[in-house]
Amino acid sequence: MAFATVTSGHVILPTTVTYSSFRRQFNSSSHHTSVSIPSTTAIRRSRSCSLFLGTSLLLTDKIRRRRISRFSPSPISTCALSAAVDSKPTILITEKLGSAGLDFLRSHANVDCSYNLSTEEICAKISLCDALIVRSGTKVTREVFEASNGRLKVVGRAGVGIDNVDLQAATEHGCLVVNAPTANTIAAAEHGIALMISMARNVAQADASLKAGKWQRNKYVGVSLVRKTLAIMGFGKVGSEVARRAIGLGMNVIAHDPYAPADRARAIGVDLVSFEEAVSNADFISLHMPLTPTTSKIFNDQTFALAKKGIRLINVARGGVIDEEALVRALDAGIVSQAALDVFTEEPPPQDSKLVKHERVTVTPHLGASTMEAQEGVAIEIAEAVVGALQGELSATAVNAPMVPLEVLSELAPYMILAEKLGRLAVQLVAGGSGIKCVKIVYRSSRSPDDLDTRILRAMITKGIIEPISSVFVNLVNADFAAKQRGLRISEERIFYDSSLEIPLNSIEVELSNVESKFASAISDNGSIRVVGMVKDGDPHLTTVGTFGISVSLEGSIILCRQIDQPGMIGMVGSLLGESNVNVSFMSVGRTVVRNQAIMAIGVDEEPDKETLGKIGDINAIDEFVLFKL
């Protein structure tokens, strides 16, 4: 199908063309020698064309001027673009959405509400749709993006979790994904409380028993909540609302969240404690952390072994944070006396699931967000986000990166990777304290501030800090919003560094202040966690941790050890890793004074097991060590 005709060096757009299809045609038409891109102004005239211009807002004036002059105006198709403005976009909605949101969508678009479609049925429709709106029950797979033939511009997730959307495929297909992260918070918190109370009083079991004709008053004696300790795991939006309500019920509430500000918790009347303290002191445990590589199966046999006998567990977060087989074992062993679950590793769970069928388990089919109010709120939130995105507005709830202009990307790409990795490293060094509040970024560069756009770098550092600890997805569009939402204050400082103007940056430094570190050597003289990195040969390198100089490629898994600077250390650690078949990819040692203290960085291809890490920790000359993943 022809999307554009190349005439006299200019692209003439047919009336139905969208910018994404135009872009694809442009990209795939590199064999034409004389194609010119329409001017930014001309593209802005078209609503449907302007979505991908979001990142132009991220450009400095200078870069923007350069871009505009390079992409010179062409006599294209103003009328063609106007025609595109007039045609309403089409939105496919595959799960039930609140009526106010639907009305709003209908006033801006042709809306096709088709529920319970299979992936094949969605694929059959999607090439005629500009946007798709789903909840957690629709899988938006790579095939959907492929079948859209470039027409699908926005996927709206009417809720928080986007585990059902293939983000990588969306990004590769230039499709923006937006979600509605706030409107169902209260509903999820209320469902957590509902599950806790009905579990404690056997409401579901007693109801089933009475309906089966029995009258079992002695069997269903419950437990009281007042003065019991509730541990909230994950003190974000939902967790803190559960805390407020549980305090109102007379419970003693503690929470574990290594990244939440302690003062925010204290203001609600909650103490933030360590993971072990939370699990071992709790009578009730309620889970509210996102599903991330760190939290996956965080409730496992070892965790249950820490708990008091007879604890009660509530999960309205994500099924994957619990090892479900371990939970069945803990229930059978009486460690967990009851569980109340809204979410499951696989949804719907298998028909013969031992967990679902367990007598002491109360289950609901992922109903956390299912109140009339939340669904109305979510529908409005997602409808506005989708319509805004179709009109080319920047969305504060965008969850994947929009297209980055090539000239900015090509210059800053390695520094963007460095920035994200420094953020990821810094946050993994945090042990707790009063939460992450202040981030200081220092750029050493020979460029003047208006010749180097650090907003992209700041966004990538923010992404690196927030994503490993949250369910929020951060990109160039929503980074500042996400930081503000979490109470992160980010300050930037530019230090002149005398070098060639061809090199945009000499180094990037990230400091997190007022936090404790699980690796004390990462603390610099001013008390902050400090990591500094450079781009060497196009790759990100760590050059300083705390006050120690080092040179390590920032990739894969890395073990950092602080040790007494003495011969044989590299061999000792290397042999331990070798014995457990862990391949070392690199090693580097940095020190302050010879034969005093040194930091050793060891890159490993496989993650060492706990036993091997324990043996490394047991080496006398090693004062401390930490393993982190980038």
Ligand X SMILES: O=C(O)[C@H](O)COP(=O)(O)O
Q: Which positions lie near ligand X, rule CB under 6 A?
A: 135-137, 158-161, 184, 366, 368-370
Minimum distance, C-beta of residue 481 to ligand NAD, in the bound complex (Å): 13
Per-residue binder mask for ligand NAD (CB under 6 A), 533-562, x = binder: ------------------------------
Catalytic residue among 318, 424, 458, 486: 318
Q: What is the CA radius of gyration of the chain?
A: 27
Tell me which of ligand NAD, ligand X, none is bound by residue 260, counting a contact when its beta carbon lies within the kind-specific cut-off of 5 to 8 angstroms.
Answer: ligand NAD
Q: Which two tokens stand for residue 538?
A: 């196009």
Helix runs in 282-338, H state only = 301-306, 324-332
Q: Which of 582, 625, 615, 628 is nearest to 294 (CA)?
A: 628
Tell me which of ligand NAD, ligand X, none is bound by residue 437, counting a contact when its beta carbon lies within the kind-specific cut-off of 5 to 8 angstroms.
Answer: none
**Alpha carbon distance 490, 480 (integer Å):** 9
318 binds ligand NAD (CB under 6 A): yes
Minimum distance, C-beta of residue 101 to ligand NAD, in the bound complex (Å): 17
Specify the residue for token string 């009347």.
Answer: 269
Which of these ranges, 80-88, 180-188, 302-310, 324-332, lies near ligand NAD under the rule CB under 6 A?
A: 180-188
Burial degree of 315 (CB within 10 A; 0-12, 13-18, 19+) = buried
Pairing of strands 430-445, 489-496: parallel
188 binds ligand NAD (CB under 6 A): yes
Closest residue to bound ligand NAD by CB: 236
Q: Which two tokens stand for residue 495?
A: 């230090």
| 339 close to 362: Cβ distance less than 8 angstroms | yes
257 binds ligand NAD (CB under 6 A): yes
Q: Which of 163, 108, 118, 111 is nearest to 133 (CA)?
A: 111
Instruction: Determine whether 366 is an active site residue.
Output: yes
Which of these ranges, 93-101, 212-220, 449-457, 467-475, lies near ligand NAD under the rule CB under 6 A?
A: 467-475
436 binds ligand NAD (CB under 6 A): no
Instruction: Determine whether 347 is an active site residue.
Output: yes
Tell me which of ligand X, ligand NAD, none is bound by residue 135, counting a contact when its beta carbon lies within the kind-specific cut-off of 5 to 8 angstroms.
Answer: ligand X
Q: Which of 274, 611, 555, 511 is nearest to 417 (CA)?
A: 555
| H helix count then E strand count, the chain | 22, 24
| Inter-helix orientation angle 406-428/61-70, to 10° | 140
Minimum distance, C-beta of residue 47 to ligand NAD, in the bound complex (Å): 31
**Alpha carbon distance 187, 613 (integer Å):** 42
Comparison of 63 and 374: residue with beta carbon closer to ligand X: 374
Comparison of 291 and 577: residue with beta carbon closer to ligand NAD: 291
**Alpha carbon distance 364, 339 (integer Å):** 11
Catalytic residue among 277, 325, 347, 376: 347
Minimum distance, C-beta of residue 138 to ligand X, in the bound complex (Å): 9
| 447 close to 500: Cβ distance less than 8 angstroms | no
Tell me which of ligand X, ligand NAD, none is bound by residue 470, counting a contact when its beta carbon lies within the kind-specific cut-off of 5 to 8 angstroms.
Answer: ligand NAD
471 binds ligand NAD (CB under 6 A): yes
Q: Of the candidates 3, 145, 235, 415, which one interacts with ligand NAD according to CB under 6 A? A: 235
369 binds ligand NAD (CB under 6 A): yes
Specify the residue for token string 């939130």.
Answer: 381
Tell me which of ligand X, ligand NAD, none is bound by residue 238, counting a contact when its beta carbon lies within the kind-specific cut-off of 5 to 8 angstroms.
Answer: ligand NAD
Q: Of the candidates 54, 98, 156, 161, which one interacts with ligand NAD according to CB under 6 A? A: 161
**Alpha carbon distance 110, 92 (integer Å):** 9
Which H, E and C letters describe 442-479, residue by residue?
A: EEEECCCHHHCCCHHHHHHHHHHHHHHHCCCCCCCCCH
Residues recognised as catalytic: 318, 347, 366
Binding site for ligand NAD (CB under 6 A): 160-161, 184-185, 188, 233-239, 256-260, 288-291, 294-295, 316-318, 342-343, 366, 368-369, 469-472
